[in-house]
Amino acid sequence: MINETLKSIMKGRQQRKRRFVITTSVLIVISLLLCGTMLMLGNTIYPVRDVMRVLLGQDVQGASFAVGTIRLPRMLAAVFTGFAFGVGGYIFQTMLRNPLANPNVIGITAGSSAAAVFCIIVLQASNTVVSVASIVGGLATVLVIYALAKGSSFAIGRLILIGIGIQAMLNAFISYLMIIGNTHDIPSAMRWLSGSLNGAKMETLYPLIFSMIVFIPIIFVYGKRLEMLELGEQAATSLGVDTNKTRIILIVCSVLVIALATATTGPIAFVSFLAGPIAKRIVGVGFSNILPAGLIGVILVLAADLIGQFAFTARYPVGVITGIIGAPYLIYLLIRINRKGDI
């Protein structure tokens, strides 16, 4: 009887592992195909052969500039920001055990946006200052939200409600800045707020790439404890998890990569909100879905940018397309949560 139970458990684990490997491999292939498509398509369509030659460092007339200088930085910006938003959103949603607990909804990206818009409109600062302010704004916002939500004990519902309130205040502040701002600065601020890959350059990607190299491995290591955190505070503590330390490390690392991604492209709407639930739906449970969530984020940003560039007569920023996709899901989720009475 015991042997049969063990065999059943092992069989179930092997099936989940097989599903995880297959699904993750498919997501990687889709991501690579979208990357290739993004490099080939434009005002001039270049064949795969020319794109590969450019990537290998060869000089190809016309293609070297279009692919190497314009399309490659845009594609890399989509990949790194999509992965950052996907992983960050999944960490928050899983750690706080609520699909609403993502950087878009609880005000973290709003903090980054408010700081950036203030620098653009009031200080008329350089892109470097705007990027640094965006990072500081995101970190300051999460510290305020965490401090207000902590109280005598940590409460997920309280954190989400405080985050939503902070977000409303920051959005009002952004609206005020847009009203009083110089008309010459408004287009720049609007372009930043919409979430756009336009104007992506290799030199602007280096801080984000560096942060991913440093913080993503830490997130993967501590992310293994997410399943225990999902069991609840007492259960995780009884299993030997230092919940406060784990939560703080995951929050800080996630906020840093999200803030740097926001500083690079602006707040691309709903990517961090959608990536985690989609990954959990197609991969299932039993394994950490950090990598699949990041890949889903990459696919969402790449696909949305291709749609925004080529599906309509006018070209739209990537954030507009992801907003169109994500807004209906947010409404559906709020209705479902309201029926369950979870918050």
Residue whose structure tokens are 């940018």: 305
Residues 330, 270 contacting (CB under 8 angstroms): yes
Q: Is 286 left (phi over 0), alpha (psi -120 to 50) or beta?
A: left
Domain segments of the chain: what residues? 82-340
Residues 215, 256 contacting (CB under 8 angstroms): yes
Q: What's the pTM?
A: 0.87
Q: Alpha carbon of 131 to those of 112, 174, 260: distances in Å? A: 9, 16, 7
The DSSP secondary structure of 191-249, one letter per residue, reads HHHH---TT--HHHHHHHHHHHHHHHHHHHHHHTTHHHHHT-HHHHHHTT--HHHHHHH
- Contacts of residue 142, defined as CB under 8 A and 6 or more positions apart, other chains included, come to 108, 111, 251, 255
H or E element, residue 40: helix 2-40
Alpha helices, H only, 41-155: 48-55, 63-65, 72-95, 108-118, 127-150
Token pair listed for 122:
């009031």
Rounded distance, CA 278 to CA 283, Å?
8
Rounded distance, CA 283 to CA 266, Å?
29
pLDDT tens series, the chain, 343 aa: 556 565 665 665 677 778 888 899 999 999 999 999 999 988 888 888 888 888 888 887 878 888 888 889 999 999 999 999 999 889 888 877 777 777 777 777 888 888 888 888 888 777 778 878 888 888 888 888 877 877 655 566 777 788 888 888 888 998 888 888 777 778 777 777 878 888 788 888 888 888 889 999 999 888 777 777 666 666 666 666 677 777 788 888 888 888 888 888 888 878 888 888 888 888 877 677 889 999 999 999 999 999 988 888 888 888 888 888 887 877 777 677 666 655 5
Residues 254, 87 contacting (CB under 8 angstroms): yes
Rounded distance, CA 8 to CA 14, Å?
10
Give, as one character, the DSSP assignment of residue 314. Answer: S
Rounded distance, CA 133 to CA 156, Å?
28
Give, as one character, the DSSP assignment of residue 198. Answer: T
- Tell me which architecture the domain covering 82-340 has in CATH: Orthogonal Bundle (1.10)
